[in-house]
Amino acid sequence: MYTVQAVIARSGVLDADRAQVREQGRSVLGPLVLEEDDPVPDVSPISLALRRLGVEKGEPHDEFDAVGLGRHRSTSAWLTSAE
């Protein structure tokens, strides 16, 4: 069986993005880390991981928005929508 996994994390507390994609148990992207004080890249680690999985962004969206993750960019927004 062929497997592809992506681990993505956005930490508001640490203000950091982290992403890694693995195929068949082997890392094919990352781990990528963008810390709060790092220069802002053209493409975030999370968007790069989603691209690797085949997600295509639309205008004016990024890959994060393209898969619906942008509808609640904070944990509190996710918790509120569950009520």
Instruction: For 4-38, write each residue's pLDDT tens digit.
Output: 788 877 766 557 888 999 998 899 999 998 888 88
Residue 65 DSSP one-character state: H
Number of domains, the chain: 1
Q: What's the pTM value of the predicted model, to 2 decimals?
A: 0.75
* pLDDT number for residue 48: 92
Q: Which helix (H) or strand (E) holds 17?
A: strand 16-23
Q: Which residue has the higher pLDDT, 2 or 13?
A: 2
Question: Across all residues in the chain, what is the average pLDDT?
Answer: 81
Report d(CA 71, CA 69) in Å as an integer.
6
Range of the domain at 54: 4-81
Task: Find the angle CA(46)-CA(58)-CA(53) to the nearest 5 degrees.
Answer: 40
